[in-house]
Amino acid sequence: MKISTKGRYSLRMLLDLAEHSGGGFVALKDIAKRQGISKKYLEQLVGLLNRPDILRSNRGYLGGYMLAKPPDQYTVGQILRLTEGGLCPVSCLEDDPVRCVRSETCKTLPVWRGLQRTINSYLDGITLQDMMDGTKAL
């Protein structure tokens, strides 16, 4: 499994919002400047993340984006699932129950399930607030 630029940059964008909102909306151009990501690319990411439970937006002179919830309510796993479409280490685990004809006899399936549990547990255990604080052993 490899996290794409889309996932990495989405995480950076939401972390930037968490750090710089100060209770107000943040313009994409400001995030772009601080993060070294093009505004055009950030606009694409907003399209993926612009949901009521993730972002709030405001148009106009003082417009921009802000987090819909406090930073401690966003996990890295949640953000990456939205942008990556899932975190499965192998394609056979994308369906539940597993539809592979070999699943009943596959000796490797338990390994992949264990890896998936480890990935999900780790990424769901880290919030934006943890990343901002830098206090949790990551």
The pLDDT tens digits of the residues spanning 25-84 come to 999 999 999 999 999 999 999 999 988 899 999 888 878 999 999 999 999 999 999 999
Q: How far apart are CA 79 and CA 84, in angstroms?
A: 8
Residue-level pLDDT at 138: 63
Residue-level pLDDT at 91: 81
Residue-level pLDDT at 114: 94
Three-class SS of 42-108: HHHHHHHHCCCCCEEEECCCCCEEEECCCHHHCEHHHHHHHHHCCCCCCHHHCCCCCCCCCCCCCCC
- The structural architecture, per CATH, of the domain 5-86+128-133 is Orthogonal Bundle (1.10)
pTM, two decimals, is 0.88
Residue-level pLDDT at 106: 87
Domain boundaries, the chain: 5-86+128-133
The pLDDT tens digits of the residues spanning 90-128 come to 888 777 777 778 778 888 888 988 999 999 999 999 999
Residue-level pLDDT at 86: 84
